[in-house]
Structure 1
Amino acid sequence: MLDGDIGLSIDDGKKILTALQSAVVNHEAETYALSRRVCPDCHTFRLVKDYTMRRIRTVFGTVEVRNPRWMLCQDCYPGMVAAFAPLKELCPDRATPELMELTARLGSMMPYRQAASVLAEFLHIEPTETHATVRKRTIKVGERLDDQITEETWRARMKMEERHQLEMQLPGDRRKEFVISIDTAHVRSADPNSARSFELVVARCGRGGRGEVGGRYFVTANTDQPAIRDRALHALREEGYCGFGDVTVISDGAEILKRLPRAMPKPTTHIIDWFHIAMKIQPMQQIADHVIRSQSGLAETLPTIGRDIRAVKWRLWHGRVHRAIHDLEQLLASLHVSQGEGELSMLRLHSLGSQLLTYVRSNRSAIVNYGKRYQAALRVATTLAESAVNSVIAKRMVRKQQMRWSLHGAHMLMDRLRARFREPEPNVPSLFKPKPPLLCAA
């Protein structure tokens, strides 16, 4: 033994686990095939058609097992000449659910080539397990999850009716409100015939006020109104929404996100994210402070410019939209008169004010009393959606990876990154059902 060489090496562990896995898989496959040979109706043995060999990929290597095919019972099914392979029921993908789940999880969190390298480094994986295999399994599991959500939303849609608030008005009960923080993210497109990038809708659904757990999130590339609504309702139902309760949608005012509040069950309130409003006022305030400190001729022309901008922000914070619009119009008129001096700061301030005025006018119905909500410890910003964008999309589709994505691939991959994986269990005896966290969607 060399100095410092103690315990089993990775190669030794791979060999031992591969041999042990082969014995376990062969025993389980033989037991399951024998149990399926018994006809459930007459309890007699089915006839044997033939025996073949089937290769099953596992996390500890590929195992070759005996794969019998049983004929249908002629006494119970007269006239039907057919055979079935029981191991196809147990492992339809020729890979164990644990390997499918592990491959898809790694493929959703890191580049496919890197995921394949990690699997080959620590597991007894064959050379054929390349980045193409990782991508195929990740997309396949994502498609199964997408089909599951679609089926669940269709069933729930038949039961969902337009309902109004029937809960008791409990003062200070922050968990009475269901909040959907929604935002968009841009991903570079791999399709040469489409635009350079496309949008993914990212949302986080939960209940409760500031400082509480954010809840579940969903990501979808389908920006149709029914698709976004179904995904939002599915996430809300996971949080306890049954058609009763106040629903609040917080967004940045993008047109693509205004479709959700109009499609949600009533009562649903749409609120513009206060952070986006504040970030549009902040550069105006900085320019005004610079003008006042410089003591230029502009400061003498508009001595109250800093106070006027702060007043607009105060009125928007307290939901006084009409007064804020009036003050903005007066401010822009004063700036327009002073533009003749050719000050660059004045031109920039007028441009920012015009953008803010347009933004406030187009979203005036969604600007509420943020101060009142803040004092009640309710959410006023899309912080949850922003964090979801950073943790889900930026983590996997960051531009530093120099990757481009197809719309279908991005949708399936982001679906794979949902906080919870859940699929109907395979129709096999409980002894052979995969154990969590192995398999659900795999």
Structure 2
Amino acid sequence: MAVEWTITIEGRNEFGDTCRKEVRIDKSWKGLSDGDIGLSIADGKKIMAALQIAVVSHEAETYSLFRRVCPDCHTFRPVKGYTTRKIRTVFGTVEVRNPRWMLCRDCHPGMVAAFAPLNEICPDRATPELFELTARLGSMMPYRQAAKVLGEFLPIEPTETYATVRKRTIRVGERLDEQNAKEERRARAQRDDRSQLEMQLPGGRRKEFVISIDTAHVRSADPNSARNFELVVARCGRGGRGDVGGRYFVTSNTDQAAIRDRALHALQQEGYCDFGNVTVISDGAEILKRLPRAMLKPTAHIIDWFHIAMKIQPMQQIADHIVRSQSDPFEVLPTIDRDIRSVKWRLWHGRVDGAIRGLQPLLARLKDSQSAGEFSIARLYSLASQLLTYVHSNRGAIVNYGKRYRAGLRVASALAECQSARNWGSDSVLMTL
């Protein structure tokens, strides 16, 4: 016993023309014992291919008829001729009638020219969705495997080979490069210094656009491979602590102009019009210092308070241990814990010179106390030296964090840190390339 399923597809255009398509699917009860239940992939391909043929043919015919009407005198344009055109879609290739219309002789006297209306809606002979899907698969797997996956699940013709996948992937990449180049040219033309022009509205912290930026290191799983690179992860938005962070972007291009253009593009999606106050929050890495220098003015660079605090925390723990131990080697450092807290307090309030003046005598006392051979003192001296170097290198980007915190503004790049950790697991990532 067999069951015949008939699927009828009907469409009607603006001119009243009706298009009807029927698809028949035969299902035998004998196949139920073999697990043939429901529609198979082949049945799905057949249905979607028939539906796509009906829809594309109807749309192409309707658009061609619409374009035959002259927009000036509203009469039909003369016919140059008829050909056929193949349009490749994700649900199969559709062959449609491809007319060519002449220009209206009354509206364009003396001009003899013809045009194909289908070139206007499908210049590549393939839909943008098929290009995007092919390029996405081609970028994630070998071209042969991508072509096999397309043919396995979609009613794709055998002509969709690995060579086609490669060409489409390269073409989409070229278009993305052209788009980035246009954005770069537009950004360079808008690099004039601007000032804050927004109104003094309630909730002033939303006037500030914040770029929280961090890096993630990606190294090859093969220890002998040299294909290691660094990714830049950033979140661009506006608002203070507790507000929605904004848009992310990730790039492996660490060029100054490339990072700036990606940041400007992300900020524009958040309402940035090239004249708002911009604040870049980073950990002070040299690769990230390029962004504030390339951004439109006014742009401020702030060192992430979290990284400063994480450099002071182990020092504080060692100092507390030294004070509690009260052994002979530590008697020369009775106030070491209070001295480190004082340095942290000064940095929190942006008093960089005072913090440096507090670190220098502290280092001198630790250096004199290293003769006792105590590991804790040697470790504390090393951490204090690193902190002093870090403060010296980034003194221009250390601000009054307490004032920003009380105003509800961001003082850390936690938004970019969280996304970096979520995507890559840690700052050092193992990846098979």
Q: Are 1:202 and 2:272 matched, yes or no?
A: no
Correspondence for 2:78: 45
Mapped partners of 1:266, 1:229: distance in 2: 13
SS in 2 for 1:255: coil
Deviates more, 1:128-137 or 1:24-33: 128-137
Deviation at 1:350, TM superposition (A): 2.2
One-letter amino acid of the structure 2 residue matched with residue 246 of structure 1 = N
Q: How does 1:128-147 map to 2 (within 5 A)?
A: 137=168, 140-141=171-172, 143-147=174-178
Q: How does 1:3-402 map to 2 (within 5 A)?
A: 7-33=38-64, 35=66, 43-48=76-81, 51-54=83-86, 56-67=87-98, 86-104=117-135, 122-125=153-156, 137=168, 140-141=171-172, 143-152=174-183, 154-155=185-186, 158=189, 161-169=192-200, 172-188=203-219, 196-291=227-322, 297-390=328-421, 394=424, 401-402=431-432
One-letter amino acid of the structure 2 residue matched with residue 268 of structure 1 = T
Deviation digits for residues 198-239 of structure 1, max 9, x if unmatched?
344332221101111111233444444444334333332322
Q: How does 1:406-417 map to 2 (within 5 A)?
A: none
Segments of structure 1 that go 5 or more residues without pairing to the other structure are: 404-442
In structure 2, the CA distance between the partners of 1:156 and 1:349, relative to structure 1 (3 Å rule), is: closer
Is the Cα contact below 8 Å between 2:217 and 2:429 reproduced in 1?
Answer: no
One-letter amino acid of the structure 1 residue matched with residue 78 of structure 2 = F
Deviation digits for residues 42-71 of structure 1, max 9, x if unmatched?
8432422x73552x3322233344556667
Alignment length, in residue pairs?
Answer: 394
TM (norm. structure 2) is 0.74
In structure 2, the CA distance between the partners of 1:399 and 1:286, relative to structure 1 (3 Å rule), is: same
Deviation digits for residues 377-396 of structure 1, max 9, x if unmatched?
2111112222443566x49x
SS in 1 for 2:331: helix
- Higher strand proportion: 2
SS in 2 for 1:8: coil
In structure 2, the CA distance between the partners of 1:212 and 1:59, relative to structure 1 (3 Å rule), is: same
Mapped partners of 1:340, 1:275: distance in 2: 33
**Larger gyration radius, structure 1 or structure 2:** 2
SS in 2 for 1:178: strand
Deviation at 1:354, TM superposition (A): 1.5
Mapped partners of 1:282, 1:130: distance in 2: 59
Is the Cα contact below 8 Å between 2:257 and 2:294 reproduced in 1?
Answer: yes
Structure with more relative contact order (C-alpha pairs < 8 Å, separation 6 or more): 1
In structure 2, the CA distance between the partners of 1:67 and 1:381, relative to structure 1 (3 Å rule), is: same
Segments of structure 2 that go 5 or more residues without pairing to the other structure are: 1-28
Is the Cα contact below 8 Å between 2:80 and 2:102 reproduced in 1?
Answer: yes
Is the Cα contact below 8 Å between 2:219 and 2:431 reproduced in 1?
Answer: no
Is the Cα contact below 8 Å between 1:38 and 1:46 reproduced in 2?
Answer: no
Deviation digits for residues 284-327 of structure 1, max 9, x if unmatched?
33444455566654433433333333332222122121121122
Is the Cα contact below 8 Å between 1:112 and 1:132 reproduced in 2?
Answer: no
Mapped partners of 1:104, 1:175: distance in 2: 39
In structure 2, the CA distance between the partners of 1:116 and 1:312, relative to structure 1 (3 Å rule), is: farther
Is the Cα contact below 8 Å between 1:178 and 1:207 reproduced in 2?
Answer: yes
Mapped partners of 1:166, 1:83: distance in 2: 51
